[in-house]
Structure 1
Amino acid sequence: MPLRRALPAAALLLATALPAAALDLQALTPEEREAFRAEVRAYLLDNPEVLSEAIAVLDSRQEEQQAEADAALVRDNLQAIAQDGRSWTGGNPDGDVTVVEFMDYRCGYCRRAFEEVEELVATDGNIRFVLKEFPILGPQSELASRFAIAVRQVHGDQAYKDAHDALMLLESDVDEGSLARLAEGLALDPAPLLAAMDSPEVTAVIAANHDLARALGITGTPTFVMGDRMLRGYVPLPAMEAIVAEERAG
């Protein structure tokens, strides 16, 4: 058991198991304090499973605190998260649950979640789905996001979704050549798209998403926002379905 987890767990154990007065070690004589420490050590050596129980309680409390902090962040930034006017929105525009995904085209877990999120939105029928371009994994991620945003700004939402899906499935490196071929495969003229990728308008979308991510404490992809919950990392389809159901149940 790592020492960094055992120590706070032991402190939690003492805090929950002993009367408040007994925790005032400063009131004890040096001899009493040493005897107390020896008694605690002996108890933990005889009952090591207690530390595991304490760690479970500690983890649960920390998860609850993180969830409460995340919910506050979501409430404070709800407009920018769900209604920024810059991000592609699909699914049911009048859906009763909004799912937002911060994603990166070069992120393996984003690719793993891609088809499951598609299935969630398609089979549910009442989810409003928002995509946040959040390139954080290097130059190829940046190029891919710039291309996708340029497609939306030049050709609209449906073309963006087609480009997004193609980029999520792209097996080659992302460079000017592969993006030109991808555009041609979507029956789009590559030249104006490649020219638009470095425009101030495209840059502004990426900058705004990075600013929002910093405000929310998001450092990795995928990150989902469902209702007032922030889900940091890959979430399997059954878990997403359960969370959506819980959001509807209130």
Structure 2
Amino acid sequence: MTRLALGLIAGLAAFPVLAEEPAAATMTEAERKAFRDEVRAYLLENPEVLIEAMDVLQQREELAGLDRDTQIIAANSARIFANPNDWVGGNPDGDITLVEFMDYRCGYCRKAYDEVEQLIATDGNIRFVVKEFPILGEASMLSAQFAIALKQLHGDEAYGKAHHALIALRGEPTVETLTRLATDLGFEPQPILDRMDAPEVMAVIQDNYALAEMMDITGTPAFIMGDGVMRGYAPLDIMRDFVADMRADG
């Protein structure tokens, strides 16, 4: 059924006279026509019923979505918050963990970067986890592969530097660009480039894809904290409210 039809049903349920019609199987064709005419006349005279019904439906869907997020997060907590393949920044011993699904070529991820950094720095008690989620084409994939390969070869500190550099990168992340970037960061480029297509690197990305699909995350950035999900960019004040709400619930 369409959302409009579901909303109409919800609206009629709030109108007892119409909701208590005889069972369809026992109604004659004339009775069914009379009932439909009565419903139509009522809705034309009271169109706000449809708006109210759609509002109720939207609220129910939102609540169902929140419940679904909570259940999936609870069932996959270690995979989301404590995956050893993920980079951890901020305060590793923070009282709350913020997970971000991000793509280096995403304009909103770049916009959020400074604000997330400010959030973490000013709060001081947030453990920050990055999940590489390249969804914007080959350039995104190359960037993610480079960052993961560097982490696997040289550790978290190296990844943190690459993460910042890739976010700030304005040119296309070609093999030549990444070669220069590795050199600028103080690393021999070829082992990193050779590692980028390794099964261990691709396994990290594929696991993040699968987790995002399970969580109904289709864009970047997306944030998970506590038992809640924030899909899309949000300004710093909203992020702070998100943190405060999760702490209050925790």
Q: Work out whether the TM-score is over 0.5.
A: yes
Q: Using the alignment, how far apart are the partners of 2:122 and 2:53 within structure 1?
A: 41
Specify the alignment match of 2:16 in structure 1: 18
- Structure 2 residues not aligned, in runs of 5+: none
Q: Shift of residue 19 of structure 1?
A: 6.7
Give the corresponding residue for 1:86: 85
Distance 2:22 2:111 in 1: 52
Contact 1:147 1:194 in 2 (8 A): yes
Percent of paired sites with the same residue: 52
TM-score normalised to the size of structure 1?
A: 0.91
**Structure 2 CA distance, aligned partners of 1:241 and 1:24?**
53
Relative to structure 1, the CA distance from residue 21 to residue 171 in structure 2 (aligned partners, 3 Å threshold; closer, same or farther) is closer
Pair 1:40-2:39 in alignment: yes
Query: Structure 1 residues 117, 24: CA separation in 2 closer, same or farther (over 3 Å shift)?
Result: farther
Where does residue 213 of structure 1 map in the other structure? 212
- Contact kept? 1:143, 1:174, Cα under 8 Å: yes
Residue equivalent to 1:57: 56
1:25 Cα deviation from its structure 2 partner: 4.1
SS at match of 1:221: coil
Q: 1:186, CA displacement in angstroms? A: 2.2
**Contact 2:12 2:19 (C-alpha < 8 Å) held by counterparts:** no
1:126 is matched with which residue?
A: 125
Aligned counterparts, 1:130-141, within 5 A:
130-141=129-140
Aligned residues of 1:15 and 1:23 also touching (Cα < 8 A): no
Tell me which moved more, 228-237 or 19-28: 19-28
What is the Cα deviation at residue 191 of structure 1?
Answer: 2.3
SS state at 1:137 partner:
coil
Query: Structure 1 residue 71: deviation in Å?
Result: 0.8
Write out per-residue CA displacement over residues 61-87 of structure 1, whole angstroms, 9 at most, x where no aligned residue: 101001101110111111100111110
Distance 1:10 1:117 in 2: 42
Q: Using the alignment, how far apart are the partners of 1:51 and 1:237 within structure 2?
A: 36
> 1:32: Cα distance to partner?
2.7
1:66-81 alignment runs, 5 A limit:
66-81=65-80
What residue in structure 1 maps to residue 171 of structure 2?
Answer: 172
The CA distance in 2 between the partners of 1:4 and 1:42, in whole Å, is 21
Q: Does 1:150 align with 2:149?
A: yes
Kept in 1, the 8 Å contact 2:12–2:18? The answer is: no
Letter of the 1:214 partner, please give it: E
1:184 shift after superposition: 2.6
Q: Which moved more, 1:224-233 or 1:183-192?
A: 183-192
> What value does the CA root-mean-square deviation take over the aligned residues?
2.0
Is there any run of 5+ residues in structure 1 with no aligned partner, and where? none
TM-score normalised by structure 2 residue count = 0.91
2:13–2:19 CA contact under 8 A, matched in 1:
no
Report what 1:99 is aligned to.
Answer: 98
Residue 4 of structure 1 deviates from its aligned partner by 4.4
